[in-house]
Amino acid sequence: MMKTTTTRPAAVAPSLPGGGDGVSRGLGAVVDEACRAVVRSEEAPPDGSGAVAPADCASLAETLPSSPVGEGAAARADRGGPGGRREERAPDGRAVGAPSCATAPPVAGLTGMSTCDWPGHLAATVFLQGCPWNCTYCHNRDLIDPRAPGVLEWSDVLAFLGRRRGLLDGLVFSGGEPTRTAALPEAISDVRALGLAVGLHTSGAFPSRLAQVLGDLRWVGLDIKALPEDYQAVVGRPGAGERAWRSLGLVLESGVDYEVRTTIHPGSAATDRLGEIVARLLAAGVRTFALQQAREIGTREGFRADEPGWDDRFRALAAEVDTLGFDRFEARPAR
């Protein structure tokens, strides 16, 4: 997935072209005592690292003394923490703002409000730790390691969202690769219980897991990074292209609103074969497409996102794509 840089432990990372406020680590954690069951994945990550280790909610049931967003005891009480219990209930009977599952998603960051992460919507964005791929142009390298712990408690993300109800259209799950997390379906359910719509940024690395949650999503931002045969050169993993393009088919079949995005940089396979990619997307039925210009910040050492004349070439490519018949097309330059 293609986003601007995230530097842990600061927990803010909007998508291209960036924006939004943020919340830092250290929010107090309040976890529903009922959350003790373990959720496991049926689809092992292709990186061989195993499913996300399920967390024991009991170990998360701590309340930290202070919050960097000024949340005090009264606010913690408002969401059912020590000192008080909230009365509001979700349709399934659990307290609004309380997580529904034992496996807390590993939250690496939270953007409190963004107009960019879900086009046309005012949304918060939560960044989940872990990605099976290692893209040449990844801006969020700190979010790749699946063993790194989250920096925010999921219950505090829900509490934050609860306070923003009426201000936000929804929440976007981003990453990393959010479908890597076995807890994603339950986390989506938690957010929907707050009355918020849910969007998803995904690379399509886990088509089976994507299929599992598509029915609960209002919008998907899907990265198509290259033609299937070129994927390994981009993401560094075999079999990735088949997964991503299978995910594309699932998104299109589902009828969910979506945007397909392709990111290019000088000399990349996607740049060299952009015409073929676009033709194949159109043939598959893609109607909404964005062309993104890779940026250098946060990427691996030696990666170059620029060369003389590159901005002009990007604009020319975007202008060409704009003539090809997508219903909605957006060019996202790096500068």
Binding-site ranges for ligand SF4 (CB under 6 A): 1-2, 131, 133-135, 138, 140, 143-144, 175-177, 203, 235
Q: Which residues contact 10 (CB under 8 A, 6 or more apart)?
A: 22, 24, 25, 109
- Minimum distance from CB of 64 to ligand SF4 (Å)? 28
Hey, how many other C-beta atoms are within 10 angstroms of the C-beta on 251? Answer: 27
- Minimum distance from CB of 263 to ligand SF4 (Å)? 8
Pick the closer one to ligand SF4 by CB: 9 or 84: 9
Return the SS3 of 18.
coil
Burial of 41 (0-12, 13-18, 19+ CB in 10 A): buried
Pick the closer one to ligand SF4 by CB: 203 or 293: 203
Over its C-alpha atoms, the chain yields an Rg (Å, rounded) of 20
Beta-bridged to residue 264, according to DSSP, are 293
- Minimum distance from CB of 144 to ligand SF4 (Å)? 5
Pick the closer one to ligand SF4 by CB: 84 or 228: 228
Pick the closer one to ligand SF4 by CB: 111 or 203: 203
Pick the closer one to ligand SF4 by CB: 103 or 203: 203
Handedness of CA 111, 116, 119, 121 (dihedral sign): positive
Query: Checking DSSP bridges between strand 197-202 and strand 328-332, what pairing results, if any?
Result: unpaired
Pick the closer one to ligand SF4 by CB: 189 or 247: 247
- Minimum distance from CB of 58 to ligand SF4 (Å)? 31
1, 96, 101, 224 from 249: Cα distances, Å: 18, 34, 30, 11
Of the candidates 11, 211, 221, 29, which has an alpha carbon nearest to the alpha carbon of residue 126?
11
Hey, how many other C-beta atoms are within 10 angstroms of the C-beta on 323? Answer: 8
- Minimum distance from CB of 16 to ligand SF4 (Å)? 11
- Minimum distance from CB of 236 to ligand SF4 (Å)? 8
